[in-house]
Amino acid sequence: MNALQTLGVRGHTSVPPHILPTLVLAQFACTSLWFAVNAVMPDLQRDWGLPASAVATLTSAVQLGFVAGTLVFALLMLSDRFPPTRVFLVCALLAAMANAGLLLVNGRLPGDWGWLLVLRFVVGFLLAGIYPVGMKIAASWYRQGLGLAMGFLIGALVLGTALPHGLRALAVSALVGSVPWQGVVVAVSALAVCGGLAVGMLLPPAPVPVGARPGVAPIQIKALGMIGSDRLLRASVLGYWGHMWELYAFFVLVPTVVASRVYTEVAASAWAFAVIAAGFIGCVLGGWAAQHRRVVQGSARVAQVQLATSAGCCLVAPLMLVAPLPVFAVWLLLWGMTVAGDSPQFSTLTAQNAPPAVVGSVLTLSNCIGFAISVVSIQLFVAAAQIWPLAWVLPWLALGPLVGLWALRPLLRVGTSA
C-alpha cells in the first residue's frame, strides 16, 4: 500500500489511499466478463454441441465489440461529457446484464448462435467504458509513477480475464459439488455489478481534469500520421501491436495447451486460471521495475525483457510440450507472466512519446488496431490448432514479439524511462 500512496496526484502530495485499490479491484471484477464464455466453453460444447471453432468466434466477437465501443466512446467523448466514474458504473451494470443474458439463450435452437455473438459483442462494446475509462480515472489522479499505476490496473484486467477459469474449477470441484455452468455466468455478472458500484459510489471526482492523458478522448485523424512519422512513437505503437498478436491468441489457447498434459476438468481449469493470472505478477513487477532506474532503464527496457522472454517461450514450445510436468508448469507460468507484463509499459511509452495534443487519439487508435490484430491472430491460431499439432502452431506466436523487439530499438537507444 505504501508504494501506491507515494504516487503523486495533481495538486496534492499524495493520493487518498483507497483510490487505486478500489480501481484495481473494480477492474478485476468487471473485466472478468471478458473471458466468461471461454471458461465454460467445454460445458457449452457438450450441452449445445458447439464446434471447436466456437471459442475463436465468440472471443473475436468480444474483441470487435471492444474496438467498436472504443471508437464510439471516443467520438462521442462520453467520459469527458459525463463523470468517468458514472460512465464506468453504467457500463459495468449493462455489461453484467448482457453477460447474464447468456442464460436466456438455448444454444440448441436455430438462430441462437447469432444471439450468442450479439451478446458477446455487446459485452465487448461496454468493456470500452470500463478498461480505458479506468485508466483515465487513474491517470487523472496520478502525476508520478503512471507506469506502476498502469501495472496494477492492467494486471487487474489480466487477473479478471483468468477469474472465470478459477470459478469454473471451483464449480466442478469436490469442495462445492457440481455447479452448472450457469452458476459461473451468474457469479461473473454479480462481480461486475459489485465492481461498478465500487467505482460509482466510493471514488470522488478527480482533483483536476485529465486533459491529454490515457483514456477515452476525441479522435483526431492526424494522430495516424503522427504514428507513421514520429520515430519514437512509431516504435512504441509497433511494439504494442506485436504484443497484441501474441497476447489474446495465447489466452484462448491456454486451455488447449493445458489439456495436452492435464486430464481432469478441475485441474485443467485451475491450471488455466494460474497461467493467465500470472500476468498480474508480470504487470506489477514490470511497473515496479520501470520506476527503479537502478534496476532497469525504464519502461522500454521492461517491455524489451518481457517481450523477449515471451518470444522465447513461444519458440521452445515443441520441447516444453513433452518436458517433465514440473518443467512444463514453470514454462507456462513464465509465459503467462511475460506475455501480459509488457502491456502497461507499452501504454506508458505511447502516452509519453505522443504529442500532448493527440495523445488520447493515438492511444485510442493504437488500441483499436491492436485489438483488431488480436481478432486475426485468434482466428488463425485456433483454426491452425485444429489442423496441426500444438508443437507446430505455438512457435508462430513469436512473430509478433519478434517484430515488437525490432521496433523497440529506437526507444532503447535513447533510454526512454517511465
Angle at CA 380, nearest 5°, toward 271 and 262? 20
Rounded CA separation 220/115 (Å):
34
Q: How high is the pLDDT of residue 2?
A: 40
Residue-by-residue DSSP string for 243-289: HHHHHHHHHHHHHHHHHTT--SHHHHHHHHHHHHHHHHHHHHHHHHH
The chain-wide mean pLDDT, for the chain, equals 83
pLDDT of 110 higher than 60? no
- Please state the rounded mean pLDDT for residues 369-389: 95
Cβ 220 vs Cβ 362: under 8 Å? no
Alpha helices, H only, 128-230? 131-141, 146-171, 181-202, 222-229
- Averaged pLDDT, 38-42: 87
Q: Does the pLDDT of residue 202 top 60, yes or no?
A: yes
154 in Cβ contact with 340 (< 8 Å): yes
- pTM value? 0.86
Contact 379, 281 (CB under 8 A): no
Who wins on pLDDT, 362 or 123? 123
Which of 32-41, 65-74, 134-143, 177-186 has the weakest average pLDDT? 134-143
Burial track 180-196 (b if 16+ CB lie within 10 A, e otherwise)? ebebbbbbbbebbbebb
Single out the residue of 60, 67, 5, 15 nearest to residue 38, CA to CA. 60
- Report the CATH superfamily, name and number, of domain 10-205+214-409: MFS general substrate transporter like domains (1.20.1250.20)
Mean pLDDT confidence for 383-405:
96
Q: Which of 21-30, 47-56, 291-300, 395-404 has the lowest mean pLDDT?
A: 291-300
Q: Mean per-residue pLDDT for 284-306? A: 77
Using CB atoms within 10 Å of the CB of residue 384, give its burial: 0 to 12 exposed, 13 to 18 middle, 19+ buried: middle
Picking from 39, 288, 10, the residue whose alpha carbon sits closest to that of residue 142 is 10
pLDDT(156) > 70: yes
Q: Kindly list the domain boundaries of the chain, sorted by start residue.
A: 10-205+214-409
Residue 147: pLDDT band (50, 70, 90) is low
Tell me what pLDDT residue 91 has: 95
Q: Report whether pLDDT(217) > 60.
A: no
Among candidate residues 147, 140, 149, 133, the one with its CA nearest the CA of residue 5: 149
Mean pLDDT value across residues 89-93: 96
| Band of pLDDT at residue 205, cut at 50, 70 and 90 | confident
Q: Which residues pair with 12 in a beta bridge?
A: 9
